[in-house]
Chains A and B, each alone.
Chain A
Amino acid sequence: LAKTTQPISMDSYEGQEVNITCSHNNIATNDYITWYQQFPSQGPRFIIQGYKTKVTNEVASLFIPADRKSSTLSLPRVSLSDTAVYYCLVAYEGAGSYQLTFGKGTKLSVIP
């Protein structure tokens, strides 16, 4: 049974590094793992995407172990403006089709 799991919420102080892990067993073999940020009343905003090992861009890093059963979004030195819901997006293969599946989201609250 395809299931994507994230912590419901996390709190962090400004300036700290935040790591959010998404568990996703049996995702499609050739699929990329993507993370999005969502503010209230807005659509999801792309943060980072990867296939395996580590990917880094100007805002985040993404760590994906060799078995690809999980992925960890790392936000360095968070600020108040990083308060948002963070979602992983993966695809599951089944019955000749691929189902794009968002995690339930992790609500990050950054505290001054």
Chain B
Amino acid sequence: EPEVTQTPSHQVTQMGQEVILRCVPISNHLYFYWYRQILGQKVEFLVSFYNNEISEKSEIFDDQFSVERPDGSNFTLKIRSTKLEDSAMYFCASSESRGGALGNQPQHFGDGTRLSIL
């Protein structure tokens, strides 16, 4: 069964540094998402991406965050200047068509990147 893969599994970064989290969505999927989960808390939506542009974003997704699909297979999340509170698990997801809001396609999640800010 096709999977969403995320790299690295664990990223340790000094506060203030830039970090890029990488995801390879399922190959025929068109919608891509990033979520984060702070330890012990619920999963929080960050952003959805379709046709090379952001479809929806949450209040969490401020100017420090950006997303990109640099080629036909990767989907990245960049945090420009990391803060201690950015420490969390970051999950990438993809769906065939619009998943969740106004869509009937389930999102498939990767197993996440644990980001630790020191």
Contacts and interface: CB of A to CB of B under 8 A. Distances in A.
Contact of A46 (B43, B91, B106): B106
- Could you tell me the dominant secondary structure of chain A's interface residues? strand
Contact of B109 (A28, A41, A45, A99): A45
Contacts of A93: 101
Contact of B43 (A30, A44, A49): A44
Q: Is the interface of B mostly helix, strand, loop or mixed?
A: loop
A100 B7 CA distance: 24
Contacts of A28: 101-102
Interface in A21-62: 28, 30-32, 34, 36, 38, 41-46, 49, 51
Number of chain B interface residues as a range: 20 to 34
B45 A102 contact: yes
B58 A32 contact: no
Given A43-B110, A102-B45, A105-B42, 6 more contacts: A28-B101, A38-B43, A51-B104, A91-B100, A97-B56, A102-B42
Interface of A: 28, 30-32, 34, 36, 38, 41-46, 49, 51, 87, 89, 91, 93, 97-105
Interface of B: 4, 33, 35, 41-45, 48, 56-58, 91, 93, 99-104, 106-112
27 contacts: A28-B102, A31-B102, A32-B100, A32-B104, A34-B99, A36-B109, A41-B111, A42-B111, A43-B109, A43-B110, A44-B43, A44-B109, A46-B106, A46-B108, A49-B104, A49-B106, A89-B107, A91-B100, A91-B102, A97-B57, A98-B100, A99-B56, A100-B48, A100-B101, A102-B35, A102-B43, A105-B42
